[in-house]
């Protein structure tokens, strides 16, 4: 192992510094998480990009994690760099210790916030979009690197920084494949987490990038429903909720399962339709029917745009009056539709005035030269936010 790690010497961190940063792996004050790999601690260390607070994962061989996972994390994260993937800042392999040092995501993992009113629907959609972008980068490398299938996409492996930006983490089970093949099938012993694992992968042991698409679909429904995909009893899976969620979507009973909190504004209807539709398609039984990750990104961007647009509130604008006075009448059934037209802009006053809304919902106007000529040439006026 030491010979292999020679190529990553720039990432090496001394055990002494890690022990000092974690107060000798203090479980009470420095431990911020634990899982099948062992425990994660926080501490400030010097690393390849400077000095900062970091997350320190201490692998515990007694829990099934060992050299293969340790080496895979180092190899993968030193090769794949994206704003929506957690960054590897260093590692330590001394005195039988296998330690990985990552950028610190101060808000922890997504699973902690599924039913939290701290997250608005705009933030929830943005988190899902971030995850899809990170996975799309891994799936569609465009000849910059080999395709990578994560194999363990779940809400506890999605970390959130101070600004609620999402970053995919934990690449210990990831599998590399050819970058230049539209369809790459890898035969491998099935691994993953109950509830999130692609049923086709579990049954046939054949892995494709659509297996990650399925897992992301489960996460999307978790965000929509505000709860984990499984219920547990005595530490064991009691029920997997995914079939219930699929059934609720197909029977048009989303309202029965969607997350509700009186302190946050409900999800806008067109955003809900787009979001739930792409989540449902990710869970299709046939891999051929599941969308590509790039399409998931596009649909989530649309859902986010719709949700952000619905939050544009400008009480100073009479949308109904503006719709009537448009050069080309706007046939709209709701103010939301009028606002969507206004995001592109409309002509008023016989084509002499152009009015639109910016992304903050602020009114922007432009007055035509012809209208200026109709006014008193000796009178000059400054028009706010227009030209």
pLDDT tens, position by position, 216-268: 999 999 999 999 999 988 888 899 999 999 999 999 999 999 999 999 999 99
pLDDT tens, position by position, 346-368: 776 666 677 676 665 566 766 66
Please indicate, yes or no, whether residues 225 and 136 belong to a single structural domain of this protein. yes
User: How many structural domains is the chain composed of?
Assistant: 3
The answer as to whether 385 is a domain residue is no
The answer to whether residue 152 is catalytic is yes
Active-site choice (152, 170, 198, 212): 152
Please indicate, yes or no, whether residues 65 and 137 belong to a single structural domain of this protein. no
CATH value at residue 159? 1.10.510.10
The answer as to whether 271 is a domain residue is yes
Which of 310, 331, 351 marks a domain boundary?
310
pLDDT band at 312 (very low <50, low <70, confident <90, very high): low
Please indicate, yes or no, whether residues 99 and 119 belong to a single structural domain of this protein. no
Please indicate, yes or no, whether residues 199 and 266 belong to a single structural domain of this protein. yes
pLDDT tens, position by position, 187-212: 555 567 899 999 999 898 888 999 99
Q: Which two tokens stand for residue 107?
A: 């808000």
Cβ distance 353 to 366 under 8 Å? Answer: yes
Residue 133 labeled ligand binder: no
pLDDT tens, position by position, 71-92: 888 988 888 999 999 999 999 9
pLDDT tens, position by position, 59-71: 887 655 678 888 8
Please indicate, yes or no, whether residues 183 and 331 belong to a single structural domain of this protein. no
Please indicate, yes or no, whether residues 89 and 118 belong to a single structural domain of this protein. no
The answer as to whether 379 is a domain residue is no
Quote the domain boundaries for residue 124.
108-310
Best CA proximity match to 340, nearest among 310, 382, 318: 310
Please indicate, yes or no, whether residues 68 and 120 belong to a single structural domain of this protein. no
pLDDT tens, position by position, 264-283: 999 999 999 999 999 999 99
Please indicate, yes or no, whether residues 204 and 270 belong to a single structural domain of this protein. yes
CATH value at residue 19? 3.30.200.20
pLDDT band at 306 (very low <50, low <70, confident <90, very high): confident
């Amino acid at each position: 192992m030491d010979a292999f790690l020679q190529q990553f010497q720039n990432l090496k961190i001394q055990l002494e510094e890690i022990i000092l940063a974690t107060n000798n792996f203090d479980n009470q004050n420095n431990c911020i998480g634990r899982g099948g790999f062992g425990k994660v601690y926080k501490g400030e260390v010097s690393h390849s990009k400077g000095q900062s607070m970091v997350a320190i994962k201490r692998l515990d061989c007694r829990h099934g994690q060992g050299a293969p996972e340790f080496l895979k994390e180092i190899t993968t994260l030193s090769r794949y760099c994206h704003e929506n993937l957690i960054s590897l800042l260093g590692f330590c392999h001394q005195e039988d210790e296998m330690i990985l040092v990552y950028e610190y995501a101060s808000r922890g993992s997504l699973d902690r916030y599924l039913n939290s009113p701290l997250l608005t629907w705009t933030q929830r959609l943005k988190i899902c979009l971030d995850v899809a972008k990170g996975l799309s980068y891994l799936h569609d490398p465009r000849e910059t690197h080999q395709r990578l299938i994560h194999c363990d996409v779940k809400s506890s492996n999605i970390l959130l920084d101070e600004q609620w930006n999402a970053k995919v983490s934990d690449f210990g089970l990831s599998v590399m494949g050819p970058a230049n093949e539209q369809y790459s099938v890898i035969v491998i012993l099935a691994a993953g987490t109950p509830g999130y694992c692609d049923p086709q992968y579990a049954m046939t042991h054949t892995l494709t990038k659509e297996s990650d698409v399925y897992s992301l679909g489960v996460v999307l429904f978790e965000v929509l429903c505000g709860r984990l995909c499984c219920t547990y009893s005595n530490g064991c899976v009691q029920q997997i909720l995914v079939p219930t969620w699929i059934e609720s979507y197909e029977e048009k009973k989303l309202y029965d399962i969607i997350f509700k909190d009186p302190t946050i504004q409900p999800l806008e209807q067109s955003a809900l339709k787009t979001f739930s539709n792409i989540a449902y398609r990710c869970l299709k039984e046939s891999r051929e029917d599941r969308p590509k990750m790039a399409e998931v990104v596009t649909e989530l961007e649309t859902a986010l745009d719709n949700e952000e647009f619905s939050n544009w509130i400008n009480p100073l604008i009479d949308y109904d009056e503006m719709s009537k006075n448009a050069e080309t009448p706007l046939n709209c059934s709701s103010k939301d539709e009028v606002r969507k037209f206004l995001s592109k802009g409309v002509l008023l006053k016989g084509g002499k005035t152009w009015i639109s809304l910016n992304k903050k919902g602020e009114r922007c106007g432009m007055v035509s030269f012809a209208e200026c000529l109709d006014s008193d040439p000796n009178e000059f006026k400054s028009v706010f936010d227009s030209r």
